[in-house]
Structure formats: C-alpha cells, structure tokens
Structure 1
Amino acid sequence: MTIQTSKSSPTNSKTPTFFINGRFLSQALTGVQRYAAEIVKAMDRALASGRFPARLHDAEWQLLVPPDAHEIPGLKKITVRRIGRLGGHAWDQVDLARAAAGGRLISLANSGPVLHRDHIVVIHDAQVFRRPDFFGWRYRTVHRLIDRLLARCATIATVSDFSRRELAAVLDLNASTIPVFPNSAEHFATTEPDYAILDRLGLRPQSYFLFIGSRTKNKNLAVAVRAMELLNRPDVPLVIVGGHNNSVFQDNLSDAGSNLILAGRLTDSEIAALYARASAFVFPSLYEGFGVPPLEAMLFGCPVIASAADAVTETCGDAAAYFDATDADALRLRMQERLIMGAVSDDERKKQQDRIAMYSWQRSANALLQFLAQKSVN
C-alpha cells in the first residue's frame, strides 16, 4: 500500500472527503487504540463492499497519521497519509486541524482538534471528571479542557450506554444526541494460542488466576493482590499481564507476597493461551467505559470474576460472577468458589457465547457509517 506524505490536502473539491484521525497509530496499544484500529479496518471493509450509499462509497477517505505512526493497517478503500511534523496534542490541534480542513473528521480515540466544526469524536468514558484521583494533574487538566471544548463544537459519541449517561451529565449534553458504537472482542477470535507461555511462566492449567491490564488506579490491582493474600493458596498464583505508565497514572501495586507472576507485555497469542487455561480471569476495575478483557476471556471459555462497576455489568450481563470492587474478601470468596467449581459448565459457556454475540466490530463500524450517512443528508 502506498502511503502519501504531503503538507497540504490533495482532495478534489467536488468529492466529499472524510478524514480519520490516525494519531492512535503513534501511541502504545491499549484498549482505546485497539478500538480505533479495529473500527477503521471494519469501516474499510464495509466501504470496499459497496453496501453503503454512494455519497459514502464514492467519497474520498483518508486516514491521517503523524510522522511517527506505526503498524499502518492494510486498507483497500481508505488512503493513509502521513502529515505534519509535530507530535501529541500539538499534532492534533495544529497539523491534523490544518490537513482535515474542508472535510468531515472522525476521531476514535478520545481526542481531536477542538476547532474543527465538522467532527465526530468517540470519547470512551468520563473518568477524568468522575475519578480525577486516577490521573496526574497535567493529564487530568488537559483532557478535561479538551473534552469540554469538543462538547461545544463536535458531535460526541461513545462505546456504552453507561458512558453515554456519564458524558451527558459531565459535559451538559442531551444523552439522546450521543450515539453508541460499542467495543468487541473479535480481534481475538482468530488468534492461535501459544501454550508455550505456560511453561515459560511455570504455570499449570486451571491452577492460576489471570489479570490483564495496565497498572493504573482504575484497574484496582491492589484489591486483586489483597484477595490473593487472603486466599492463601501458594499453589495458585495471580498472573499479571500488562505495562505501566507512571507518568500519567498513579501506581497502585502494593508490596505484595510472592504469589504474583509479573508477566509484562505479551503477544496476543500468549494472552490467548493464558485465557484458555486460567482458573478464572479477574477484572476488579473501579471504573470502565466498557470492559473488553472480560469478553476476550469469554471467547476462550475462561470464567470471569468481575467488579460490579456499571459498564462492566452492562457488558458482561449474566456471564460473569460479580463482587464489590472495594471488598477484597468478596473477591477472595469468588476465587475460592471458582476453584471448587472448576471449568465453566455448559450453562455458563452458553451465557458467555450469548454475550460475545452481542458485540461486533463490523456492526459498530456499520452503525458509525450509517450515522455519517444520515448526518450528510441532514
């Protein structure tokens, strides 16, 4: 695929142009960046199929990316253009704003230029307003300001009914004007598990609990660590997978016992293997906009023990065992129950499959395209 590099947009004034904010391709891969990448790929498939109105299919589509963008997806309908010289928020507010002038802009990863007037922005949650203690002051201040400005000049979208209600409240918006384009776990559906990771970590199947996520305060890892101490099962460790960004978030991993395995960042194939052989996946989050990892676990028939946070219960429904996120002993009890129960039953597996079937990257991308088609008529 050819990647254009230019300082100005080559768009034809007679052809409508849709620009996609590709800054997520210069960032570390977390749930938000995964969402943006999967939605872009699904939009590209839909546009290439010709199923959508001519005003979308025949339009010019460009994914605008920063100079340091990586892992450019292979796209058929959407052209990738590397633009600008800046980085971070400066690239958003200056380089992207200039390059996207005159077209409709789609930002999928929480941020975008605040002066672009034809702009839809997916904000995944309201954490910077509801739980400011989760963030460093600089990050909190910048994102609160950007969110408030975007709410005044752009269309805000989000990923769950819970986040729609939260964003409507904190940004003084009518919830009915905020469309919802949910996450999915389909990116793991074709992943081949690499079971060699169990040997490398010294694990026995169905004899460990699994935590996946950054060590950020909202992920509430400290409660999982305390629950493991209370469980007092040296033969059943907690495997912790993921990175840590202390420059943005506050660390919450206390000095714990030796019954923890810090696996660091792993490949999707290694993570798939850990899901498939875990006693249970533990998701103790205090606040989420959606909650993708529990769905990923369900794809592999892994039992899910999750906090009763609103977005998590919306996502998981009756396919997870819940506990109060502030109660380590309640989590310990759920872990103990799971060890006694063993692998998921047929009834539990059916519930998992029903939840997984509710979410699809393609359906979310199609819904976004339909929303754009309706707006282009209005």
Structure 2
Amino acid sequence: MAFGSSIIFNGRFLQRPVTGVERFAIETLRALDGLISSGEIKLGPLFLAVPRGTQAKVSFNHIQLIEVGRFQGYAWEQIELPWFAGRRLLVNLCNTGPVCKRHQAVVIHDAAVFSVPQAYGMAFRLVYKCMHRLLAWRGARILTVSEFSRQELARHLHIAAESIAVLPEGGEHVLRVLPDDGILTKADLLKRPFVLAVSSAQANKNFAFVAQALAPLGDPGFDVVVAGGTNPAVFAAKGAALPPFVKHVGYVSDAELASLYMQAACFVFPSLYEGFGIPPLEAMARGCPVVASNAASIPEVCGPAAVYFDPVDPSSFLDALHQVMGSEPARVQLKVLAQQRSQLWTWPRAARSLLQALPEQVPTHP
C-alpha cells in the first residue's frame, strides 16, 4: 500500500479508558476529520496506526484506522510503530512516542512526573521522565496544551520555551450527548442542591481537601456529589468516616455526567497541578458555575468565568463556595460567563493549531 506523504497518528490511546488525555486525542482527530469534510482544509492521506485487536472508540471519514505489527503496549509503540511510520511524519497525541524516531511531534500534556512525582508510582515516573527527556534530546517537536505547561516542560527538559507549541483543548463534546436525568433519581439528588466534583485518585487532584474543608461545618445544607472511579474513602478526613453529605456516584456515562453538570449548583475543581483541565470547560459548556483552584494552568483556562480559591487554604475555599452558593444572582452571572468562556476553547481550534505546529509544511487550505 502506498502512503505517499501521509501523516501517521499514534493510536495506542484507543486501548485505554477515556480520561483527559485520551479525550484530547479523540476530539482533536474528530475535529480534524470534520474540517476536512467541510472543505476548510485539504491534506494527504491520514492514518491512525493501532496495535492489532484494538477496538475503535470512534470512526472517521478521512482518517483510516490501520492495524500494525504483533506487539502491544510500549513494545508496539517503541519498536513496531516507528518501523511502520518510516520516514513519514508521526504524530503522538498522548504524552508518549517512540524515542528512536526523529521525524515526529509529541503532545506532552504536563510536566507532572517532574513537578508532582509523588502522584505516580516509581516505575511510571522513571519511564516517563526518561522518555520525555529522550524525545526532547532527539529533536522531536514538543507540543503541549497551555502556557503553564510550556514553561514547566521547558524548565524540566532544558529546552527553549519558544520551541514548544501550545495547543488549546475544548469542552463542547459534552453538548453532543442527550442528558440522562436518571442519575438524579438513582443517586437521590432531587431533594436539595448539590456541588459536583469529578474525581481522580491522583494526589495532585486534591479532592480530599473539599470534604475535609466542609467537614467542620457539620451539614452544609447541600450535598457534594463525587463522580469518578476513585475510592470514596479519599474524601474522608484522616481516620474519620466519610461525611454524610458526600455522595460518591462512581463511574458515570457521558450522558449522566451532562445531567450532573446541568443540575449542579456549581462545579468544584480543587487541583493543585493541571496541564490544562478539561472538566471545568465541560461544566462551563453546560452552563454550570465553576469554583476552581487558583493553581497551575487553571486560571489560564477559566479566565474570569470562575471564582477562585487557594487549594491549600480551607477558609479561602469556603469563602469562594459561599460566594456562589449563597447568591442566585452570582450563579446566574457565572453561568453567562461560563458559556462565553467555553466558546473560546474548541476542538476545531485545537485541530487547526495542531496542523500549524507540525514540523513539516502541511497544506491547510484546498
């Protein structure tokens, strides 16, 4: 099969559950496919290379899924993927890429393995630190998703910040699904207001801080609904039972999450470290007021459309939360600002930025 001047995308992410990094890859490629369909851009052949047996989570009109090699995981990515790509441009959207390949672009979403190493196991930390340094040393085009991450990566990888391109992300994918309000009845969320958090077990996500800050209040008059797969015990103060106002609903579908965003009095995002942070944008796209940490990239993403707090100061958090929960006019104003802000960050913009940042001339107009 002749590929000519084709671009190869690393599709190993399709074998993993969809978290923020995988969401970025799927939605950026979906948007790129849409821009080609609309006639806005014209490209040569595009291929999404995957290990054999990969079940595609999404289909495209102009990007061909192609199974490559016999290996899986890192062995596939480091050995068989670069062999298949040959001299063609390889684009890696999810933090990793083959260290032996020169003609490639790699989106590294953050420098968390360097800046918050305690959030990862030793083996993972070692592999990612070595890989990122080798990719930079061998001249891969490094891309990232925020100015904050650009500065962090430049510092840790010892490369010029100007050599790292910044791509936006988006949140409008939550508008494609029909909300499933069944989650509200199933989780008993119709009796009083609730604050929503989308959880993760990583320490830098800082979700235990929310419940621990609220615990001294007794019953705050609203529930804290936690969606996600982490152990709910992390939301309890050390040595204490989980507060009764915290409701852990576990994994939810995109449709259920859309309903939670729409019905929540506000969305809380307490992270200590984020390369970008898609959940606040998802909340904004659904018109949900956002109360967010003032750390890392979060103010860069949320701008004036969020109320901020210090993620290590409980009183700062409680003041921000009271500012939103205690005022209907404040929530209405935040809803307006949220929807306006979310329109600045879109997946078509991400796809256009990706094409502009690739390390070879790619025609972007028919």
User: Is the alpha carbon distance of 1:339 and 1:152 closer, same or farther for their aligned partners in structure 2, counting shifts above 3 Å?
Assistant: same
Structure 2 matches for 1:75-224, cutoff 5 A? Answer: 75-153=60-138, 154-204=140-190, 207-224=193-210
| Aligned AA (1:11) | A
Q: Cα RMSD (Å) of the superposition? A: 2.0
Q: Distance in 1 between matches of 2:78 and 2:193?
A: 49
User: Is the alpha carbon distance of 1:26 and 1:344 closer, same or farther for their aligned partners in structure 2, counting shifts above 3 Å?
Assistant: farther
Q: Distance in 1 between matches of 2:312 and 2:356?
A: 41
Q: Distance in 2 between matches of 1:68 and 1:331?
A: 47
Q: Distance in 1 between matches of 2:212 and 2:251?
A: 22
Q: Distance in 2 between matches of 1:371 and 1:124?
A: 15
Q: Quote the offset at 1:72 in angstroms.
A: 3.7
Aligned partner (choices 201, 209, 212) of residue 226 of structure 1: 212
Query: Partner of 2:324: helix, strand, or coil?
Result: helix
TM-score for the superposition, normalised by structure 2:
0.92
In structure 1, the residue matched to 2:19 is 30
Q: Distance in 2 between matches of 1:106 and 1:172?
A: 22
In structure 2, the residue matched to 1:11 is 2
| Aligned AA (1:125) | D
- 8 Å contact kept, 2:323–2:330: no
Residues 262-313 of structure 1: per-residue CA shift (max 9 Å, x gap):
1111011111111111121110001000111111111222111111113000
Query: Partner of 2:142: helix, strand, or coil?
Result: strand
Q: Distance in 2 between matches of 1:110 and 1:137?
A: 17
Residues 233-279 of structure 1: per-residue CA shift (max 9 Å, x gap):
2642211111239xxxxx95445322221111101111111111112
TM-score for the superposition, normalised by structure 1:
0.89
| Aligned AA (1:296) | E
Q: Distance in 2 between matches of 1:341 and 1:49?
A: 44
Residues 167-212 of structure 1: per-residue CA shift (max 9 Å, x gap):
1111111111111111100111222211121111001276111110
Q: Distance in 1 between matches of 2:298 and 2:220?
A: 29
Aligned partner (choices 312, 318, 321) of residue 304 of structure 2: 318
Residues 345-370 of structure 1: per-residue CA shift (max 9 Å, x gap):
55323321221121110011012123
Structure 2 matches for 1:363-378, cutoff 5 A? Answer: 363-372=349-358, 375=361
| Aligned AA (1:149) | L
Q: Quote the offset at 1:343 in angstroms.
A: 6.6
User: Is the alpha carbon distance of 1:232 and 1:24 closer, same or farther for their aligned partners in structure 2, counting shifts above 3 Å?
Assistant: same
Aligned partner (choices 286, 298, 302) of residue 284 of structure 2: 298
- 8 Å contact kept, 1:303–1:343: no
- % of aligned pairs identical? 38
| Aligned AA (1:359) | W
| Aligned AA (1:114) | V
Q: Quote the offset at 1:77 in angstroms.
A: 1.3
User: Is the alpha carbon distance of 1:110 and 1:200 closer, same or farther for their aligned partners in structure 2, counting shifts above 3 Å?
Assistant: same
Query: Partner of 2:262: helix, strand, or coil?
Result: helix
Query: Partner of 2:297: helix, strand, or coil?
Result: helix
Larger mean CA deviation between 331-340 and 127-136 belongs to 331-340
Moved over 4 A (4+): 343-346
Q: Which runs of 5+ in 1 are unaligned?
A: 1-9, 246-250
Q: Distance in 1 between matches of 2:273 and 2:210?
A: 15
Q: Distance in 2 between matches of 1:67 and 1:266?
A: 29
Query: Partner of 2:177: helix, strand, or coil?
Result: coil
Query: Partner of 2:127: helix, strand, or coil?
Result: helix
In structure 1, the residue matched to 2:314 is 328
- 8 Å contact kept, 1:290–1:311: yes
Count the aligned residue pairs: 357
Q: Quote the offset at 1:114 in angstroms.
A: 0.7
Residues 130-171 of structure 1: per-residue CA shift (max 9 Å, x gap):
111111111101000000011122100001111111111111
User: Is the alpha carbon distance of 1:76 and 1:346 closer, same or farther for their aligned partners in structure 2, counting shifts above 3 Å?
Assistant: same
User: Is the alpha carbon distance of 1:277 and 1:344 closer, same or farther for their aligned partners in structure 2, counting shifts above 3 Å?
Assistant: farther
| Aligned AA (2:26) | A
Q: Distance in 1 between matches of 2:187 and 2:41?
A: 48
Structure 2 matches for 1:269-280, cutoff 5 A? Answer: 269-280=255-266
